Amino acid sequence: MTNSMAGLTGRWSQFNSAIKGIKGGHSRGDSVFKDIGYINYWDLRLYVACMPIYCGHKDPETKDLIKMG
């Protein structure tokens, strides 16, 4: 889940940079890099799934806050 203004694309970019050790900023990506080290994409089978759910993030109502967790 992301509440990032850059959206899911921005979070995926942060994860990508973190698992390559280029730049931190994504907690799980940082953990993967710490545990495994640099990841060669050709050796790793990484599967990602997403399901976009629109939430009114500028002036959220209760239902939007529930969707955002």
Give the residue from 6, 2, 40 showing the smallest Cα distance to 21.
40
Which position has the token pair 């939007």?
64
Would you say 30 and 16 are in contact if contact means Cβ atoms under 8 Å apart? no
Q: pLDDT class for 61, splitting at 50, 70, 90?
A: confident
Burial class (CB in 10 A: 0-12, 13-18, 19+), 19: buried
Q: What is the pLDDT at residue 22?
A: 85
- The string of pLDDT tens digits covering residues 4-54 is 778 888 888 888 888 778 887 788 888 887 887 776 666 667 777 777 777
Q: What is the pLDDT at residue 41?
A: 61
pTM above 0.75, yes or no: no
Task: Determine the Cα angle at 50 with ends 65 and 24, to 5°.
Answer: 85
